[in-house]
Structures are given as C-alpha cells and as structure tokens.
C-alpha cells in the first residue's frame, strides 16, 4: 500500500556518486545525477508525496485519524537531503512539500481546517528531520555505523516527536477518545517511514545501483527478498508469534545486499506486518486493532531495524578493507621505487669510489711521486673516507636487494660456535677493538642452526661492530650461543650505556641513528635494518634487551638443525 508505492518507477530519481575508499567517511554526492536547480525533482517528489498522503489517510488509519503506515515523510526527507541546495532551494522544496501534503489531505476527504492543521504538523516533522540529519549526520553516509546511527536516531526517532505531540493536541481538540494511542501510532509509523524509506533513498548511490543491477546479484536479491513471505508465514502462521524466525534471513540480506537491500527488505516487512495488522491479518491477534498495529510497528523498529546497522557496519568494514588494500599497494609500489633508487645509487657510487680508493692508495704509497708526511696523512684520510662510502654503498645495495626479495639464502646446517669464533677473530682486527675484550661463550652441545652461514656471519659481525662502536666503554663484548626450545639463540652483549625503551622501538628503522648523526661514532643507520631483514629471510627473529646504564644484548633466534 503506502510503503510499496515508494518503490514504483514513478518515484523521483535518486542517485549518488561512488564513495571513494581513499579517505575517511565520504559524504553523499548530492549532485550525482540530479542538477540542484532541476525543477522536476521537487515536482515529481510532490506528486509522490501527495499520493502517499492520500493512500495513508484513505486506507491506513488505525488509531482514529492517525495512519499506522506513513511513507510520505520518508520520501520527502530522502529527496530533500539528496537534492536541495541553499536557502532558496530549501524554501522552494518546503513549499512544494507543503502544497503536496495539503492536496493529499484534501483528496483523502479531510476538511480544509483539519487538512491545513495536519499539513503544518507534517511539515514540522519533515523540516526537523532534515535539519537534524544535516546537523548530526552531515555526510549522509549510511555506509558507516556512526552515520547510520546518527540518521536513524535524530532524523527517524527524534524528529517525529514534536509532530506527534502536536497531533495529540489536534486529536484532543477533535474529541478523539484515546489520544495517547494516536500519539504512539503517529510517532512509530512516521519514524518507521523515515527510517526505512529515508535509509533506502540515501543509500542508493551509483555504486550500489550498479552492483545490485548485475544479473547474478539481481537473481540473488530476488531469491532472498522472495523468501520473506515464506519466512513470514512460518513465523506468524501459528498460534504463537515467532518473529525471531525472520532474523537469519534479514541478516543474510544485510550481508549480501548491503544497506540499500536491507532497507528495501524492511519496507516489504513493514508492509506485511503493519499493513497486515491494519486489515486484521497481522502477526498479533491479541488486543484491539490499534494495539496490534502498535505491536507490529514496535517489532519492526526494535526487532528488525538494528539489522540495518549491521549492514552499515559491514559496508564500513569493506570500505576500510578496500582502503587498506589500496594503501598497501601504494606502500608496496613506494617501497619498490625506493629499493630501485637505493640499488641505482649504490651501483652509481661503487665505481667512482673504487677509483678514488685506487688513486688514494697509489698516492699514499708514493707511486705518484714523492709525498710529504702531511700528504701521506691526507691520502690515508681520503682512502678511509672512500672506504666508508664504499661500505655504505654495499649496505644500501644489500638493503635494496633484501627489500625487493632479490637476496637468496642457502639454508643448511651451520655450526654456530665456529661461526662466532670466526666473527671474533675478524672483529679483533678492527682499530676500535684495541681496548675491548671479545669473548665467545657457548652453552650446551648441538648448537647447529639451519641458516645461511655467509649471511648469518654478516649479521653477527654487524651486531658485534655496533657493540664495539657504542658499547666500548664497558670494555667487553660477549658473543654467546645457547639452545632455546627448538631454536639456537645467538646473543651479542656489551656493557655500555644501554638504550631507553623509546630508542629500542626505533632501532631497526632504516637510516635512524637515534640522534647520533652528529656524534663521532661512524654509521649510517642501515646495518640493523639489514640484519633484521637477513635474519627474517632465514626464518628467524631478532630483537634487543637493554636498559639505560646496563648495556645492551642483541639476540637472534634461528631454527636448530
């Protein structure tokens, strides 16, 4: 009857643009498919509203002069929110709606005074719903839980209350017996109309319509919605109403068809429940006909309307998932570009640096002619600096290869004690190891890990060099190996100043030197990031245990053979 009329093809066109997944909750595009100054929109809406008003008054009255089903407000609110622009447009739309409601009242047979009174009351409701929706749900985005809750609560639940109170006064003046029942019927019926028709109107975006018009989706929608009468019969054909039987089907529709689909389904359910109660074939048989209508209205509003919020939550989840996917793709592309840049820079640096080192060595050895002691010192500084740049180029190239997946590891049983001893001997040759004792401690037998011996030695050497750089004040560095469950644990401990919790959280970030950029300690912030990636490529994990003033212990866990 009233609700089904709102779905006919004569209704005003409603469309909206695609909600972009890149940024926050997106507002409905009010210009999508409708020119803001198109005069046919309010005219066609006015015709639909007049027809809905006449039908509701003529066939839907369940509590004296009050109709139990009222779709005019829902249609008016949805189209007004979707099409109106500025104060002049609002005034025009409000005028057309007022005239349409008045015409519908008169067509239904109300006398001019009563028709005018109810027109004013209905306009109070419609204007209140539009203002509250704009104030508390400005994006008009029902694909987010917050937007759906705000619209339903403020526009559908609160907006009809002043109009319902005004109708109570009118009904009292008309001498109607049970004005309180009329107030309830008005409130619930109008709230239901705004909730289901308003939600459907605001959720019909271009993306939604395009999705629902796919052949497979249309067949699925027809099957799901077609099952509503079957479930309705199962739920209410017996002597005991079992309204919960409809909930699984409504949830399935919410999951498969989204907000627009469940809103349309709730229109059908409202027509079956409330419309059936008005003609004596409703779900409830206890109480007077007005009481049966009230119970049917409450069942839809309280029992079934929350399913629309489930659909909003699911669409919001899908939106966030799509946004996360796009963000991940952008991050991966940026990471690939960065890796290519690092690799190119490293390749471009290596060749000229090698030439500088060669020339510096020839100069330092006097093969380019006699040199003074000062020139010898300068040549040594030149070679040392060039070798630092060369090391950085190699590290950058390794980082780029590791991040792009170009690093290949050959996992095989690796003797960890022997590897630690090799690292100790190599690091003892460094100038910064002169005053630091490097010890190897192995606890237990069978310390054999599945690893790439070359890459693992690179990792442990890097950790040991860092311990010599930053923890040399402790005078000792310990390389330890022990078994831990099904893994071999390697530790590199120093007794230096240690690290705060904040610095530990930033340790493995590339190019982050924890504020030591201007210190005398050499480094580029690449080694730990590379070590982490290399350990992960070998199926292990890496971390640090430290506290200010207590040194630091870097550890790596690798699967044991």
Closest by CA to 536, choosing from 346, 407, 388, is 407
Closest by CA to 83, choosing from 29, 4, 131, 135, is 29
Kindly report, residue by residue over 507-529, the tens digit of the pLDDT: 877 666 565 545 555 556 677 88
Kindly report, residue by residue over 538-550, the tens digit of the pLDDT: 999 999 998 888 8
Kindly report, residue by residue over 296-318, the tens digit of the pLDDT: 999 999 999 999 999 999 999 99
Tokens coding 339: 């890796």
Q: Coil, strand, or helix at residue 557?
A: strand
pLDDT over threshold 70, residue 361: yes
pLDDT of residue 513: 57
Bridge partner residues of 544 (DSSP): 554
pLDDT of residue 331: 84
Dist. CA 454–CA 411, nearest whole Å: 10
Tokens coding 313: 């939550």
For the chain, report the end-to-end CA distance as a whole number of angstroms.
76
When pLDDT is averaged across residues 531-560 and rounded to a whole number, the result is 90
pLDDT over threshold 50, residue 17: no
Kindly report, residue by residue over 158-177, the tens digit of the pLDDT: 999 999 999 888 888 877 76
Alpha helices, DSSP H, located in 227-305: 228-236, 246-270, 276-278, 289-298
Residue recorded with tokens 């506290």: 547
Bridge partner residues of 483 (DSSP): 488
Strands 476-484 and 437-443, by their bridges, are parallel
pLDDT of residue 27: 54
pLDDT of residue 13: 40
Closest by CA to 192, choosing from 140, 157, 146, 161, is 157
Closest by CA to 80, choosing from 165, 20, 140, is 140
pLDDT of residue 10: 39
pLDDT of residue 35: 42
The percentage of the chain sitting over the pLDDT mark of 70, rounded to a whole number, equals 88
pLDDT over threshold 60, residue 190: yes
CB 513 within 8 A of CB 384: no
When pLDDT is averaged across residues 453-482 and rounded to a whole number, the result is 88
Confidence of residue 404 (pLDDT cuts 50, 70, 90): low
Q: Which of 95-104, 326-335, 382-391 has the highest mean pLDDT?
A: 95-104
pLDDT of residue 33: 41
Dist. CA 164–CA 191, nearest whole Å: 10
Confidence of residue 24 (pLDDT cuts 50, 70, 90): very low
pLDDT over threshold 50, residue 15: no
Across all residues in the chain, what is the average pLDDT? Answer: 84
When pLDDT is averaged across residues 100-105 and rounded to a whole number, the result is 94
pLDDT over threshold 90, residue 219: yes
pLDDT of residue 38: 67
Kindly report, residue by residue over 406-424, the tens digit of the pLDDT: 677 889 999 999 999 999 9
Contacts of 140 (CB under 8 A, 6+ apart): 27, 28, 30, 81, 82, 133, 147, 151, 202
Kindly report, residue by residue over 35-50, the tens digit of the pLDDT: 444 678 889 999 999 9
pLDDT of residue 365: 81
pLDDT of residue 522: 57
DSSP 191-208: HHHIIIIIHHHHH--HHH
Confidence of residue 261 (pLDDT cuts 50, 70, 90): very high
pLDDT over threshold 50, residue 89: yes
When pLDDT is averaged across residues 196-224 and rounded to a whole number, the result is 91
pLDDT of residue 177: 66
More confident residue, 34 or 463: 463
Q: How far is CA 201 from CA 7, 75, 324, 511, in A?
A: 10, 7, 28, 53
């Amino acid at each position: 009857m009233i609700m089904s009329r709102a779905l006919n093809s004569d209704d005003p066109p409603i469309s909206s643009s695609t909600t972009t997944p890149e940024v926050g909750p997106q507002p409905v595009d009010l210009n999508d498919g409708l020119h803001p100054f198109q005069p046919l929109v309010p005219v066609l809406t006015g015709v639909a509203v007049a027809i809905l008003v006449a039908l509701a008054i003529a066939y839907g009255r369940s509590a004296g002069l009050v109709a139990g089903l009222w779709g005019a407000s829902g249609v008016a609110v949805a189209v007004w929110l979707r099409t109106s622009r500025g104060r002049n447009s609002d005034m025009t739309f409000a005028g057309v709606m007022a005239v349409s409601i008045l015409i519908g009242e008169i067509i239904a047979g109300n006398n001019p005074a009563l028709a005018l009174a109810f027109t004013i009351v209905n306009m109070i409701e419609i204007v209140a719903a539009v203002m509250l929706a704009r104030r508390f749900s400005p994006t008009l985005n029902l694909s987010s839980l917050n937007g759906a809750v705000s619209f339903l609560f403020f526009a559908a639940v609160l907006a009809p209350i002043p109009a319902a109170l005004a109708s109570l006064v009118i009904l009292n003046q008309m001498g109607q017996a049970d004005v309180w029942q009329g107030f309830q019927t008005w409130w619930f019926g109008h709230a239901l109309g705004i909730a289901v028709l308003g939600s459907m109107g605001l959720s019909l975006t271009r993306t939604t319509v395009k999705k629902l018009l796919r052949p497979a989706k249309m067949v699925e929608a027809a099957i799901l919605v077609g099952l509503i009468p079957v479930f309705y019969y199962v739920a209410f054909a017996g002597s005991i109403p079992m309204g919960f039987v409809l909930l699984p089907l409504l949830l399935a529709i919410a999951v498969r068809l989204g907000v627009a689909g469940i809103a349309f389904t709730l229109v059908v359910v409202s027509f079956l429940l409330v419309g059936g109660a008005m003609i004596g074939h409703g779900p409830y048989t206890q109480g007077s006909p007005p009481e049966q209508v009230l119970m049917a209205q409450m069942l839809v509003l309280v029992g079934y309307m929350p399913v629309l919020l489930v659909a909003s939550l699911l669409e919001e989840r899908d939106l966030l998932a799509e946004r996360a996917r796009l963000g991940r793709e952008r991050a991966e592309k940026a990471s690939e570009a960065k890796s290519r840049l690092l690799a190119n820079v490293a390749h471009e640096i290596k060749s000229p640096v090698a030439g500088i080192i060669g020339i510096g060595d020839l100069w330092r050895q006097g093969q380019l002619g006699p040199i003074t002691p000062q020139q010898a010192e300068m040549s040594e500084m030149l070679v040392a600096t060039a070798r630092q740049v060369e090391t950085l180029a190699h590290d950058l190239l390794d980082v780029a290869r590791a991040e792009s997946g170009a690093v290949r590891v050959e996992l095989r049983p690796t003797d960890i004690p022997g590897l630690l001893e090799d690292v100790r001997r190599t690091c003892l040759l460094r100038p910064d190891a002169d005053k630091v004792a490097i010890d190897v401690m192995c606890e237990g037998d069978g310390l054999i890990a599945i690893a790439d011996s070359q890459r693992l030695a690179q990792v442990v050497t890097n950790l040991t060099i860092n311990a010599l750089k930053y923890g040399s004040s402790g005078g000792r560095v310990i390389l330890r190996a022990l078994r831990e469950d099904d893994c071999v644990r390697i530790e590199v401990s120093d007794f230096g100043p240690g690290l705060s919790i904040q610095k530990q959280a930033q340790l493995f970030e590339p190019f982050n030197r924890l504020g030591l950029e201007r210190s005398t300690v050499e480094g580029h912030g690449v080694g730990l990031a590379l070590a982490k990636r290399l350990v992960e490529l070998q199926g292990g994990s890496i971390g640090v245990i430290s506290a200010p003033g207590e040194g630091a212990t870097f550890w790596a866990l690798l699967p044991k053979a």
